[in-house]
Amino acid sequence: MARKNIFSDAPAVPPRDAAKPRAASPMPRGAVGALQSSLARMQESAVQEVDPSLIDEGGVTDRLGPDDAAQAQLAASIKAYGQQVPVLLRPHPEAQGRFQIVYGRRRLRALRGLGQPVKALVRQLDDHALVMAQGQENSARQELSFIERASFAAQLEAAGYPRQSIADALSIDLPMVSRMLKVGAAFELSFLRQIGRAPSIGRPRWLALAQAMERPGASNRVHSLMQGPDFALLASDDRFEAVLKRAGSDAAAAPKPPAPQARHLPGADGVPLAEIKRSARALQLSVPQRGAKGFDDWLEAHAAAIVQELHARFHQEQAEETPQQDRRHD
């Protein structure tokens, strides 16, 4: 499946360097300036009622499709008890008198359906602050599925945001950003929207789908499946499973990979000490008893300490490499 232009149908988001906040107007000094500053802070803290027709999309796509049952439940709750939590808006940077949604899209959708005004906080935010607020609010609620978070991260990187900013927005560390981007950048946004949020599907299964989509004919098989009349009727998790099955349907006909070959590990005198072999399931190290001269017993006794030391060294090297990788994306 093609991996280029995966965000062709998503609104462009300027990178951090291109999204510098506008310079604030000089504030009069003295009592008048202090009063205006206090009024501005009060306005940002006050909940306002806004006509839903004046609110446009903002930020990047964080949801891959509505959960109809959950959306209906939210609308029923708002109808019965009113809107309890305000949404966050910012003044539209290009259309005077209009606003952009920062977070609270589900509440906005429900209120539009009910024909009710939107209770909102309105704050002056540049593009960088907008996506940071959007990502952190979603992370705090923990409502987004793995693929929605991975797609959100991939959209931010495609827009030019550095990986540290992506990590801050999603409240994750840099290694997790790398793992999310490996999945999020593997699929076009339109493809993900057809599958939906797949709430029960984690990273290993999405990686399996990315690999399955690289098989010959997989893209055509999946496209045919998605165009079928029954595909959209499935739940999101079931759509994912159907796509994975169809993408890998040629697995039985594919030739089996050759059996892994053992590699000899020589000692200081050149005599083989051990063999190492990688299979699809494990990495195996074996020490032949013949000629070991007690080395096999010693290794068995100290195996735990050796593995722990190597594991700590692995994490240290990963930590040293991560800042260099992040700088390449700044």
Buried-state track 72-94, b at ≥16 Cβ within 10 A, e below 16: eebbeebeeeebeebbbbbeebe
User: Where is pLDDT greater, at 294 or 227?
Assistant: 227
Judged against a pLDDT cut of 80, whether residue 166 lies above it is answered with yes
Beta-sheet pairing, 99-103 with 272-278: unpaired
Q: What pLDDT was estimated at residue 3?
A: 43
* pLDDT tens, position by position, 137-164: 655 554 678 898 898 888 888 888 888 8
Q: What pLDDT was estimated at residue 19?
A: 42
* pLDDT tens, position by position, 226-276: 998 889 888 889 999 999 999 987 544 445 556 667 777 777 777 777 888
Contacts of 194 (CB under 8 A, 6+ apart): 226, 231, 239
Give kind and range of the element (H or E) at residue 203.
helix 203-212
Judged against a pLDDT cut of 70, whether residue 27 lies above it is answered with no
Q: Residue ranges per domain, the chain? A: 1-16+37-194, 198-250, 263-309
Query: Which range, 200-209, 262-271, 314-323, has the best average confidence (pLDDT)?
Result: 200-209
Q: What pLDDT was estimated at residue 10?
A: 43
Contacts of 157 (CB under 8 A, 6+ apart): 163, 166, 181, 185, 329
Q: What pLDDT was estimated at residue 12?
A: 45
Site of tokens 């950048």? 185
Q: What pLDDT was estimated at residue 123?
A: 87
Judged against a pLDDT cut of 70, whether residue 45 lies above it is answered with no
Q: What pLDDT was estimated at residue 327?
A: 44
Report the pLDDT averaged over residues 304-310: 83
Token pair recorded at residue 289: 């008893």
Mean pLDDT, the chain, rounded, equals 76
pLDDT band at 32 (very low <50, low <70, confident <90, very high): low
The percentage of residues in the chain with a pLDDT greater than 90, rounded to a whole number, is: 18
- Geometric angle at alpha carbon 66, from 134 and 13, rounded to 5°: 35
Instruction: For residue 125, count other CB atoms closer than 10 A to its CB.
Output: 23
Phi, psi of 250 (to 5 degrees): -95, 10
Judged against a pLDDT cut of 50, whether residue 51 lies above it is answered with yes
Report the pLDDT averaged over residues 301-322: 78
Burial of residue 155 (CB within 10 Å: 0-12, 13-18, 19+) is: buried
Q: What pLDDT was estimated at residue 6?
A: 36
For the beta sheet containing 263-266, the strands, ordered from the edge strand earlier in sequence to the opposite edge, are: 263-266, 272-278, 283-286
Judged against a pLDDT cut of 90, whether residue 278 lies above it is answered with no
Q: What pLDDT was estimated at residue 30?
A: 56
Report the pLDDT averaged over residues 12-20: 45
| Class (C level, CATH) for 1-16+37-194 | alpha beta
- Identify the CA nearest to 240 among candidates 278, 204, 293, 276: 204
Query: Which range, 24-33, 127-136, 173-182, has the best average confidence (pLDDT)?
Result: 173-182
